[in-house]
Structure 1
Amino acid sequence: MSEALVKQLGEIFEDSLVACEKAHGEVTIEVSKDDLLEICRTLHNHDELAFEQLIDVTVVDYLTYGQDEWATTEATGAGFSRGREDYHPVKQTWQRERFAVVYHLLSIAHNRRLRVKCFLKENRPTLPSVLDIWASANWYEREAFDLFGILFAGHPDLRRIMTDYGFVGHPFRKDFPLIGNVELRFDAKQNRCVYEPVSIEPRVLVPRVIRKHKDETVYVAAPEQGGRDG
């Protein structure tokens, strides 16, 4: 089914797609910012495609791609690669735009799914809203704006939806501090909630590896700060 969809998309859109590939049993197409609305309308309205539902809108921030301690080309889901004696982290450099907005589509008529990916630059990342095509985009685009700072031109009510109205920054961006910038508490004397500078200190989240050479046993301990004894 995936191969048939790839062929069908190629015939319908021809050179309009930046990329079209199959991975993990699903198809992903990449489109340019300028072609997004036209391609989305076709995906929704074309009888042979009929992607009637927008399941979700997600965002990927590639700011630290290849720099994380766990992000290596040799890592697997079978265990902690850091515990191996021959572990050598592989640093990669991201060469493309920082953000990718991903639309997850479902065709009930044809029982298949599709991902639509569109890359955006870091400076004022803006896309046209697809709200007129899929009504469910309303809250999804607000979430993407709130958590990642993606702007959707033409959205009638682009307000924060997850964080407070006075919140500063976008908490799902890779450069946003894990401990936040401010903390909120209720002040009994003032009888209201007040914002104050963060009082906690950053903690180490990556487990500490302790190697015991006898019997080649490897132990993975909890983080040094704020973790349980490992």
Structure 2
Amino acid sequence: MYRTWQQFLALMGLFAVPGVLRVFGMEIFTSKEVEALNGTEVRLKCTFKSKHPVSHYSVAVSWNFRPLNQGAEESVFYYQETAYPPTEGRFKGHAVWSGDILRQDASISLHEVPFTFNGTYTCHVRNLPDVHGINGEVTLRVVHKVSISDIAILAAAIGGTIAIVLVLLGLFMVFKYCNRHANTDMELQGRKLQETRELQERELQANILQERELQANILQEKKLKASEKERKDPTVW
């Protein structure tokens, strides 16, 4: 009776008026559209939020299927405390549980999807006393080839831009490296030229000093010879 009263309060939240405390319902999140290659596996993601504690005992999950031709709705999967895969129908042996209730994940996976799985899948989640809320819907398209989505195009564009930036950065680093080495070579050549000039100047100065010393020695010898001649011949002035 107590649980029934909780459910009654939750349902009354749909008709709450201003000034009256409203019981919030479940929030369910699903992908709008999923594309799968024929014969492969696809995961139908469904997550939820609840204002109340989540446990394996309080949460019930059910998945239903509505084909594209607007045929009768079919049960795909049921979970409460444990998984209850379908025992008959088109989804027998194809639908498996891939969620985690404690992480608020109610997803399922479909194996070896054929084209007959094209349609809309509805995810129902209830967590007492949250027994109302908008159900999540996923449209599955089974195709021969997976088309390139806008996200894939955007990812490719971003990847191409990053690649171009990396190439330009690499060229800049190579140019900088070559320029640095060119400047280093020029500096080395400049230093060698400067050292050569300094060496030549030192050699020139050394030659000039040698010539001056030689001239001084010659002049000194002349003076000595003149002095000896004067001593030998006093009449020479």
**Larger gyration radius, structure 1 or structure 2:** 2
TM-score interval, smaller chain: under 0.3
Q: TM-score, normalised by structure 1?
A: 0.26
Q: TM-score, normalised by structure 2?
A: 0.25
Between the two structures, name the one with larger relative contact order (CA 8 Å, sep ≥ 6): 2
Higher helix content, 1 or 2: 2
